[in-house]
Amino acid sequence: MKDITVTKHNLSDYFSALQDELELTPVIVITTQSGDTGKWTMAKLWRVWMDSTAKWMVGRGAMMPLVIDADGNHYGNRPFNKDDAHELFTCQHLGVDRDGVRLCWARKAHDGMRPATKGERYNALFKHEIWAGERGIILFKPRGSDYDKAEKEQVE
């Protein structure tokens, strides 16, 4: 028998599948586990998405300079990575507040930056999801994550 996701709404279908399995084999072992994917904060989800995005960009030849001199000349290069994606898309999607203070994903202010609010984080994730979708990048969206909950709140 294959893995089956069981909810209150499809429980009878699951029992039918079990009965079919029992017709073939008189004894079966059933193992269960929660469908919960754990605690997925928006910041944690952002970092996972940045990893996927960076891999997609590297696959298309994205590189970063190793050294930039005072005149702006680039020397050497290295593959684009998840930290580069984080910096790039934090600037692009999270941006700055109305006072020009850069927003960050951290819980506490640092280096002249202010922590983004839940709404600002949601907007950044939403913008990136649209950007990625337009390019065919598959992003992991766990059920029950803070982003999933905020997305459902927007619909209601």
Domain residue ranges in the chain = 1-33, 42-155
pLDDT band for 92, please (50, 70, 90 cuts).
Answer: very high
**Residue of 127, 122, 112, 129 whose CA lies nearest to 103:** 112
pTM above 0.85, yes or no: no
Over range 71-99, report the average pLDDT: 94
Higher-pLDDT residue of 85 and 7 is 85
Which residues, 6 or more positions from 63, have their beta carbon under 8 angstroms from its beta carbon? 77, 78, 79, 80
Q: Quick one: which H or E segment has residue 67?
A: strand 63-68
Over range 19-24, report the average pLDDT: 82
What tokens were used for 66?
């190793």
Q: Report how far apart, in Å, the C-alpha atoms of 108 and of each of 78, 91, 105, 112, 156 are.
A: 31, 18, 9, 11, 30
**Mean pLDDT rounded to a whole number for the chain:** 88
